[in-house]
């Protein structure tokens, strides 16, 4: 790489990127939500939900965790509550990641039942949409992670979701996650389902120490006992546990803009714990979390990291190469992404 040239947007967009921590419903753009809203309103003028472009005005990214979680129930889930809207939103999210230069995506979603839609229908619809998308483009590989909502789900529901994940491995489900409002729930109730997920060859990723409320020594020890392969966020982590994460070389999904805008960390970009973890051996994937809210695509996350932590083109390329180790989809896909990064490294300079 020619490090005499700065990292700029052209570089980070062309860089073949992986995205490992993106929530489907949180990744839907405001424009797409608006289109779904418009269609519903045309069909039913009494449809009683406000225009997403009014509720989420362009440029607004300062969602606190409270306003963030309530937006899903007040808006997103009122719109994406039928299969047609789910297909439309999923396609739009996939197109957005592809357009940003993502070459490997593990999209995560809570298989959500709505009136008239079962969890099975939800997940089959997302998988069908991903399959059709694969027929359209070979550039981006797409896999799914099924997530458990700690804010609302009992152990039996987690069992159900792990069963769905196991049944759908051949269709591209590669892992399971625990997400949802970190101030709620008791994660220890998910021990059995997670050990079954592991025994059945699924990858395990966990939202980890997102807030002080979800960072008690006992919660973190419980989560580490689930034998995760990767951790998301890793914000409020005591030193002893940092050492254990480094010893295990766990893959880290770091979401810089989300953590800064949602005030999940104290301070700004420069204070983000990316600055700490980049010196450890853990593979790091920069991720968007919910690009529909925080409006910073993956290419911008790499740009921000470069700008705030003085990274060169070679630093970013090395980080991407190392992060490939953390994907859940196996050796063939690791080789594929590495090859894409190598081609990029030789061709971009001369382009
Ligand atoms: C701050 N970051 C976060 N922390 C914890 N959970 C999050 C999250 N961002 C999103 N979700 C979880 O993902 C759901 C939306 O996508 P799906 O309907 O599953 O596709 C949200 O309802 C929330 O439970």
pLDDT score of 186 more than 90: yes
Q: How high is the pLDDT of residue 1? A: 83
Domains of the chain: 9-346 (3.20.20.140)
Check if 232 has its Cβ closer than 6 Å to any atom of ligand 1: no
Check if 27 has its Cβ closer than 6 Å to any atom of ligand 1: no
pLDDT score of 123 more than 70: yes
In three-state secondary structure terms, 281 is: coil
Q: How high is the pLDDT of residue 257? A: 98
Residue pair 208/232 in contact by the 8 Å Cβ criterion: yes
Active site residues: 210
Give the pLDDT confidence of 290-332 residue by residue, as tens digits.
Answer: 999 999 999 999 999 999 999 999 999 999 999 999 999 999 9
Q: What would the DSSP string read from start to end of 78-99?
A: HHS-SHHHHHHHHHHHHHHHHH
263: left (phi over 0), alpha (psi -120 to 50) or beta: left
pLDDT, average across residues 186-204:
98
pLDDT score of 126 more than 70: yes
- Per DSSP (E only), the strands in 138-172 are 141-149
Residue pair 194/145 in contact by the 8 Å Cβ criterion: no
Specify the residue with its C-alpha closest to ligand 1, atom 12: 180
Query: Cα of 44 to ligand 1 centre, how many Å?
Result: 28
Residue pair 251/285 in contact by the 8 Å Cβ criterion: yes
Check if 24 has its Cβ closer than 6 Å to any atom of ligand 1: yes
pLDDT score of 55 more than 80: yes
HSE-CB at 12 with a 13 A cutoff on CA atoms is 22
Q: What percent of the chain has pLDDT over 70?
A: 99
Neighbouring CB atoms inside 10 A of 20's CB total 28
Confidence of residue 350 (pLDDT cuts 50, 70, 90): low
The CA distances from residue 80 to 32, 71, 90, 345, in Å, are 11, 13, 10, 40
**Residue 205 phi, psi dihedral angles, 5° rounding:** -125, 150
Specify the residue with its C-alpha closest to ligand 1, atom 6: 180
Taking Cα atoms as reference points, which of 304, 307, 268, 265 lies closest to residue 286? 304
Taking Cα atoms as reference points, which of 122, 105, 104 lies closest to residue 113? 122
pTM attached to this predicted model? 0.98
Check if 292 has its Cβ closer than 6 Å to any atom of ligand 1: no
Average per-residue pLDDT in the chain? 97
Residue pair 276/266 in contact by the 8 Å Cβ criterion: no
Residue in the structure block whose two tokens are 């490294």: 345
């Amino acid at each position: 790489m020619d490090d005499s040239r700065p990292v700029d947007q052209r570089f980070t967009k062309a860089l073949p990127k992986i995205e490992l921590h993106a929530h489907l419903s949180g990744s839907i753009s405001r424009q797409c939500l608006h289109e779904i809203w418009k269609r519903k309103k045309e069909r039913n003028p009494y449809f009683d939900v406000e225009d997403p472009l009014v509720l989420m005005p362009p440029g607004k990214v300062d969602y606190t965790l409270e306003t963030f979680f309530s937006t899903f129930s007040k808006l997103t889930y009122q719109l994406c509550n039928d299969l047609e809207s789910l297909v439309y939103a999923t396609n739009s999210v996939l197109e957005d990641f592809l357009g940003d230069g993502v070459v490997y995506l593990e999209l995560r979603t809570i298989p959500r039942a709505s009136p008239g839609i079962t969890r099975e229908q939800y997940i089959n619809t997302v998988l069908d949409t991903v399959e059709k998308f694969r027929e359209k483009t070979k550039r981006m590989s797409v896999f799914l992670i099924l997530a458990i909502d700690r804010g609302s789900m009992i152990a039996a529901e987690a069992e159900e979701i792990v069963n769905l994940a196991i049944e759908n491995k051949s269709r591209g489900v590669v892992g399971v996650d625990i997400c949802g409002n970190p101030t709620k729930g008791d994660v220890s109730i998910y021990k059995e389902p997670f050990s079954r997920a592991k025994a059945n060859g699924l990858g395990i990723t966990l939202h980890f120490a997102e807030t002080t409320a979800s960072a008690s020594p006992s919660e973190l020890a419980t989560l580490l006992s689930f034998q995760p392969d990767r951790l998301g966020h890793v914000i409020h982590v005591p030193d002893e546990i940092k050492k254990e994460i480094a010893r295990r070389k766990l893959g880290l999904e770091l979401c810089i803009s989300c953590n800064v805008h949602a005030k999940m960390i104290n301070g700004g970009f420069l204070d983000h714990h990316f600055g700490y973890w980049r010196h450890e051996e853990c593979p790091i994937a920069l991720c968007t979390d919910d690009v529909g809210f925080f409006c910073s695509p993956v290419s911008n996350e790499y740009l921000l990291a470069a700008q705030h932590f003085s990274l060169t083109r070679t630093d970013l390329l090395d980080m991407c190469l190392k992060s490939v180790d953390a994907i859940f989809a196996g050796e063939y896909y690791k080789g594929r992404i590495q090859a894409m990064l190598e081609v990029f490294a030789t061709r971009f300079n001369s382009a």
